[in-house]
Structure 1
Amino acid sequence: MVVKAELEKLGFNPISVELGTVSIKENISADDKIRISEQLKSFGFELLEDKKTQIAEQIKTSIIDLVHYSKEPLKINLSAYLSVQINLEYPQLSAVFSEIENQTIEKYFIAQKIEKAKEMLTYGELTLSEIAYQLNYSSVAHLSAQFKKVCGLTPSAYKTQTSDKRKTLDEI
């Protein structure tokens, strides 16, 4: 909503504004790009024109959508899912992501799953077994091991602590 409003303030007519993508009716000049970029930076957004950076952001957006907003348990092959979502072969996606983000897609995916597990633990509505199932872990032990590796705490220890150690999605 912020991006759409700011583009309209600058005199552009956005056709669609979705997470990570904007379509505008008008042709954009180099000066227009600078104006848009400066305006969006004041709200913490940036223009991504480099193709590799765009692909890395598409991967991150797809993983965030899958982990945080999907209503179904994560019973999907990540490489196949990303290849379909982005319409590129997984080896190419993996190479680009590792180059741009300095981490593998798998590590990013695990970090997102652990953040989702933290959220579920914080709300306290599900058991650890149910969380492991929702996040497609083979067992509670597997979830606990990854959780401890990423956070330095077991899920139970995390749940009992009072301070919130969760990261925002853009910090992961």
Structure 2
Amino acid sequence: MKVYVKNMVCHRCVLAVQTILDNLNLNYKSVTLGEIEFQDSLGSDNKEKLSQELQAIGFELIDDKKNQLIERIKSAIITHIHHDKELIKINLSDFLASELGYEYNYLSNLFSEVEGTTIEKYVILQKIEKVKELIVYDELSLKEIASLLGYSSVAYLSNQFKKVTGLTPSHFKIIGQQKRVPLDHL
């Protein structure tokens, strides 16, 4: 049995959910971004306890099928951009279709309908957050960051960065982390 969890965006989120499951003595097979797979069916009492514990740390269970798929799309995009350097080289629409088992047009239309924005705009926001992170770490040049995230040029990255943040990457570097947004708030 699988349940879907909203707002899981990183490995620490997975660890936090695993801790809750362990504390509640719930047998689970796996925990990944946005998803918990259980050994057996989850009774309504356990589901309610789990829901309360998750809400206490900023997560929530998703029962609606459309919203479950939206959360799976978001998790796949986050993985695509933030957690796997090789995935960024794969075409996003192909990746999403393959990963989720639906045609990209269906996923795109559903995402726009439910979220009020396009997958493309969501991806841009995620990429810009990754750029901010990499700028703050100060380990890569802007050219290397552009290449890593699949931008065709530093100029294109800089223009998109300024459109989203109102700042140039170099100005952002000066003011640093105070402009970062948690991934679950995008």
TM-score with structure 1 setting the length: 0.92
Per-residue deviation, 1:124: 1.4
- Does 2:159 correspond to 1:145? yes
Give the alignment partner of residue 75 of structure 1, picking from 81, 86, 89. Answer: 89
- Could you tell me whether the CA contact under 8 Å between 2:129 and 2:180 is conserved in 1? yes
Distance 1:50 1:163, change over 3 A: closer
- Does 2:34 correspond to 1:48? no
Alpha-carbon separation, structure 1, partners of 2:87 and 2:100: 21
Which runs of structure 1 show a deviation greater than 4 angstroms over 4 or more consecutive aligned residues?
Answer: none
> Whose radius of gyration is greater, 1 or 2?
1
State the partner residue of 1:90.
104
Offset from partner CA, 1:87-130 (integer Å, 9 cap, x none):
11111111111122211000010111111111111111111111
- Could you tell me whether the CA contact under 8 Å between 1:94 and 1:104 is conserved in 2? yes
Alignment: residue pair count: 172
Out of 107-116 and 153-162, give the one that drifted further.
Answer: 153-162
- Could you tell me whether the CA contact under 8 Å between 1:15 and 1:23 is conserved in 2? yes
Per chain length, whose mean CA-contact separation is higher, i.e. which structure has more relative contact order (CA < 8 Å, sep 6+)?
2
Offset from partner CA, 1:116-154 (integer Å, 9 cap, x none):
111111111111111111111111111011000000011
- Could you tell me whether the CA contact under 8 Å between 1:97 and 1:104 is conserved in 2? yes
Distance 1:15 1:131, change over 3 A: same
For 1:1-172, what aligned pairs fall within 5 Å after superposition?
A: 1-72=15-86, 74-162=88-176, 164-172=178-186
Alpha-carbon separation, structure 2, partners of 1:41 and 1:105: 26
Per-residue deviation, 1:44: 1.3
Alpha-carbon separation, structure 2, partners of 1:110 and 1:159: 19
Alpha-carbon separation, structure 1, partners of 2:183 and 2:177: 18
List alignment gaps of at least 5 residues for structure 2. Answer: 1-14
Counterpart of 1:47 in 2: which secondary structure?
Answer: strand
Alpha-carbon separation, structure 1, partners of 2:148 and 2:26: 42
RMSD, matched Cα: 1.6
